[in-house]
A and B are shown apart, each in its own frame.
Chain A
Amino acid sequence: MIVTRLAEVWVYLAQTPLLWLALTVVAYAAADALHARLRRHPLAHPVLVAAAVLIAVLAVSGTPYPEYFEGAQFVHFLLGPATVALAIPLHRELGRVRARARPLAAALLAGSTTAVVTAIGTAWLLGAPRATLVSLAPKSTTTPVAMGIAEKLGGLPSLTAALVILTGILGGVAGPALLRLAGVRDPAARGFALGVASHGIGTARAFQLGEREGAFSGLAMGLNALATTLLLPAILRFLGL
């Protein structure tokens, strides 16, 4: 009796966006609390944990992704205004940005090129076909830019979308520790590297390190979108792809 009643409630709730919106926010809040409990252990990165939990819930309940996204799109939508909001911390750091414009420009060009060349090079050595190489190449830029580039140059845009997210999570999880290992201790440089290597998810991680890290990361994310768009076709031609 109560089971059929629960099933009715489930059917009703599953049709409204509220269920998946609420579960997305609850899963994130729980993942964030866990992250704090584990003293911000990198492997407990809240995007990784929340997404894994939600993927399991979708699998168990047999919910297709488009149905999930009906609810989750409200959270997803806020990425736009949040990106615009990056101008505010950046406004306060602009003096610092100007003072080191040259090292930052060099870091951007070298970082953007490194991202593309190493992604293609390693996958090529392991025998990946051209479509995969092109799909990998823009993985450090923000999703819409990366998908646009992949499509134009003969990659698979949907594969690129997944690779972009995985790159972001990888940078968010391992980035700060790796930068420490590499001897990069300057807050602005740490933020800038996170933004170039792993776009918005890296920027989200950078804001947890500090507001200066976040500001420089947001700047790097925006600039790398531009740099990769301009550099990637030339790099592919140079590599003969």
Chain B
Amino acid sequence: MIRGFAVLLSFQLAGEALSRALHLPVPGPVIGMALLLLALQLGAARGEGLRAVATGLLSHLSLLFVPAGVGVILHAHLLASQWLPLAVSLVASTAATLAVTGWLAQRRGPGEEREETAP
């Protein structure tokens, strides 16, 4: 558990350092995710020790967004001053993005066998 957490923090640190040093347009943790994926693929990091801590963090990922969610009040006046265009834009754009992405993503790739789909 603690080793898994140490691995996650180390990869985040490496990602953060790379992102800063090379002025990459992607945040440090996302670079860290890519680096850890690479390490797992190359067999340089073991999945088993990480699984417990990863499952713990990811099964309650929603919790981690609560402080940022509360932070929306900081901008209440900005949001209220233009609520109509903002609300319409968010709803329409989120719906359109979900549909377009979902439709294209479920087309089968060549050579991929059929698999069970959600009911």
Contact = CB atoms under 8 A, between A and B. Distances in A.
Contacts of A85: 8, 33, 50, 53-54, 57-58
A132 B66 contact: no
B98 A175 contact: yes
Interface in B46-76: 47, 50-51, 53-54, 57-75
Given A68-B70, A128-B82, A144-B27, A88 B101 contact: no
A100 interface: yes
B1 interface: no
Nearest to B84: A126
Interface string A186-217: 11111011101110110111010110001010
Contacts of B40: 87-88, 91
A182 to B, nearest CB: 4
Interface residues of A, number: 120
Contact of B29 (A58, A84, A115, A197): A84
A82 B58 contact: yes
B88 A81 contact: no
Contacts of B26: 145, 222, 225-226, 229
Q: How large is the interface on B (under 10, 10 to 19, 20 to 34, 35 or more residues)?
A: 35 or more
24 contacts: A55-B70, A75-B66, A80-B32, A83-B12, A84-B12, A84-B29, A87-B40, A88-B50, A92-B47, A99-B109, A107-B103, A115-B94, A128-B82, A128-B85, A175-B94, A182-B102, A185-B118, A186-B105, A189-B105, A192-B102, A193-B98, A193-B99, A204-B61, A216-B105
Interface of B: 5, 8-9, 11-12, 15, 25-30, 32-34, 36-37, 40-41, 47, 50-51, 53-54, 57-75, 78-79, 82, 84-86, 88-112, 117-119
